[in-house]
Amino acid sequence: MRNIFSKKKKGERERKMGTATVWWRVRGISVGVGSELRLSEARIRRRGISVSTRSSCCSSPLTLIVSSMPYEKELAAAKKAATLAARLCQKVQKALLQSDVHSKSDKSPVTVADYGSQALISFILERELPSEPFSIVAEEDSGDLRKESGQETLKRITELVNDTLASEGSNTFPSLTTDEVLAAIDNGKSEGGSVGKHWVLDPIDGTKGFVRGDQYAIALGLLHEGKVVLGVLACPNLPLASIGSNQQHSSNEVGCLFFAKVGDGTYMQALGGSTQTRVHVWDIDNPEQASLFESFEAAHSSHDLSGSIAEKLGVKAPPVRIDSQAKYGALSRGDGAIYLRFPHKGYREKIWDHAAGSIVVTEAGGIVTDAAGNPLDFSKGKFLDVDTGIIVTNQKLMPSLLRAVKEALNEKASSL
Ligand SMILES: Nc1ncnc2c1ncn2[C@@H]1O[C@H](COP(=O)(O)O)[C@@H](O)[C@H]1OP(=O)(O)O
Ligand SMILES: [Mg+2]
């Protein structure tokens, strides 16, 4: 980030009147104030430079701040937040799977990890991005924790959050009180929308997988003016090695962090590691070789429908069924080539279940649409207005996938 004051005044008198007559040239682009500036900002963004402006009054200089690395600070904060939240969730999942006290059908450990992850991420974003106005759209709110019956759980969550913060080094972060934890959770109450910056958070995506000891993800995306511009997916149980029919990555390690920034590609690193690898979707055009990803839970997505689509495409490999947006991560690095999600009638998709995952796939070269081929619109608040389902693949396979989906949906409709 650097300040640029290379302004060309066109007249002190006019400037004092506050008219749009003070001009700068930045990297060959003229920018001004007021409505002129809006236009210029759009032009600058198209060139991959982010701009923010401040002007306190006409007599003080206007400041134009230009960064040639848009959303860089936000990405660093999001990676840190998701990595810490993953650490908290891993601790809870380990205790859950080892414990005699909680059965797998007991929802309380999930609750503690869900709230803890949300509080931690909200706290880190506020702390790391103090000068960036933003809101957070997240899955949880603190209503139940404020009741008498929630006090023990709140204490446990606060302990977990503080233990996780302390694991970064004793002087890195302060300890939070229970009230600060409640406030951090409630920062996630935004409704999102098409104006400004909104972080979109699923603190534990795939709670069923989390309880089973399988896949889950911490999913954090950033919307700017209604578009997803950044996404981070922490997948603590996802192997670094490929899990589909395209076995191109090999490793014994488990735990992946995927991240993507608009125009900048998608990267993967080991959770807690620092070596990042750029990843790409599998660019095949023959669906017979493809692996197809879908929900582990048949209640979340129709296995029958995806089976019928796979048959029409000639997909030979059995479906890879895993929980959470880890599916988007696996697809972005080319483990398989198709992801299908067809929830049962009446289910409304939430933006936090797709924001981070969708940019991770699109920046890796893939396409994410609804079942009719429409792009997902994240600007309408908490819900996505999708036609029937969500489909994901590479550019080459999308036309045949769309045809197969249409045929399968027609057959299903005529059989009812
Ligand atoms: N009835 C449902 N149909 C479809 N998706 C659901 C349903 N109930 C919860 N989900 C959400 O679907 C996502 C998991 O999908 P998948 O099974 O493919 O991993 C999660 O976000 C999960 O919520 P949650 O995040 O609260 O677990
Ligand atoms: Mg979810």
- 295 touches ligand 1 (CB under 6 Å): yes
207 has catalytic annotation: yes
CA of 206 to the centre of ligand 2 (A): 6
Phi, psi of 54 (to 5 degrees): -135, 140
pLDDT at 14: 32
Atom of ligand 1 at shortest range from CA of 347:
3
pLDDT at 201: 98
Across the range 216-223, mean pLDDT stands at 98
CA of 199 to the centre of ligand 2 (A): 15
Q: Is the pLDDT of residue 212 over 80?
A: yes
Domain 72-279: give its CATH code.
Answer: 3.30.540.10
Ligand-binding site membership of 353 (annotated): yes
Domain 287-415: give its CATH code.
Answer: 3.40.190.80
Contact assessment for residue 332 and residue 266, using Cβ atoms and an 8 Å cutoff: yes
Give the least confident one: 24-28, 146-150, 269-273, 297-301: 24-28
pLDDT at 106: 65
Atom of ligand 1 at shortest range from CA of 324:
19
Domain ranges for the chain, please list them: 6-67, 72-279, 287-415
Sign of CA dihedral 50, 54, 58, 60: negative
The one catalytic residue in 83, 111, 114, 164 is 114
pLDDT at 132: 85
pLDDT at 101: 53
Nearest 10 degrees: Cα torsion 245, 246, 250, 254: -60
H helix runs in 99-168, sequence order: 108-128, 151-166
Confidence at 79, pLDDT banded by 50, 70, 90: very high
Closest residue (by CA) to atom 6 of ligand 1?
Answer: 300
Hey, what amino acid is at 67? Answer: S
Q: Which has the higher per-residue pLDDT, 239 or 15?
A: 239
Count of Cβ atoms closer than 10 Å to residue 35 Cβ: 9
Give the integer Cα–Cα distance in Å for 263 and 354.
18
Contact assessment for residue 325 and residue 191, using Cβ atoms and an 8 Å cutoff: no
CA of 352 to the centre of ligand 2 (A): 7
Identify which of 297, 322, 331, 350 to mutate to test ligand 1's pocket (most ligand atoms within 8 A of the CB). Answer: 297
pLDDT at 19: 25
Percent of the chain scored above 90 by pLDDT? 75
- 349 touches ligand 1 (CB under 6 Å): no
Give the integer Cα–Cα distance in Å for 33 and 11.
14
Atom of ligand 1 at shortest range from CA of 352:
21
Six-digit token pair at 128? 């790391």
The one catalytic residue in 111, 158, 164, 207 is 207
Output the CA angle 357-115-380, nearest 5 degrees. Answer: 45
Confidence at 102, pLDDT banded by 50, 70, 90: low
Count of Cβ atoms closer than 10 Å to residue 262 Cβ: 19
pLDDT at 9: 41
Closest residue (by CA) to atom 18 of ligand 1?
Answer: 295
- 207 touches ligand 1 (CB under 6 Å): yes
- 323 touches ligand 1 (CB under 6 Å): yes
Q: Is the pLDDT of residue 7 over 70?
A: no
Atom of ligand 1 at shortest range from CA of 323:
19
Contact assessment for residue 367 and residue 377, using Cβ atoms and an 8 Å cutoff: no
Count of Cβ atoms closer than 10 Å to residue 104 Cβ: 12
Give the least confident one: 8-22, 214-228, 287-301: 8-22
- 357 touches ligand 1 (CB under 6 Å): no
What is the CA 225 to chain-centroid distance, rounded?
15
Confidence at 39, pLDDT banded by 50, 70, 90: very low
How big, in percent rounded to 5, are the helix, strand and coil portions of the chain? Answer: 35, 25, 40
114 has catalytic annotation: yes
Confidence at 247, pLDDT banded by 50, 70, 90: confident
Confidence at 216, pLDDT banded by 50, 70, 90: very high
- 347 touches ligand 1 (CB under 6 Å): yes
Cα 245 to Cα 282, 329, 341, 401: the distances in Å are 10, 15, 19, 18
Confidence at 105, pLDDT banded by 50, 70, 90: low
Closest residue (by CA) to atom 8 of ligand 1?
Answer: 300
- 203 touches ligand 1 (CB under 6 Å): no
Atom of ligand 1 at shortest range from CA of 297:
17
**3-state class of 29 per DSSP?**
strand
Give pLDDT tens digits for 261-286: 999 999 999 999 999 999 999 999 99
Contact assessment for residue 384 and residue 351, using Cβ atoms and an 8 Å cutoff: yes
CA of 206 to the centre of ligand 1 (A): 6
Q: Is the pLDDT of residue 37 over 60?
A: no
Contact assessment for residue 409 and residue 298, using Cβ atoms and an 8 Å cutoff: no
Residues 6+ apart with CB under 8 A from 14: 21
Confidence at 59, pLDDT banded by 50, 70, 90: very low
- 300 touches ligand 1 (CB under 6 Å): yes
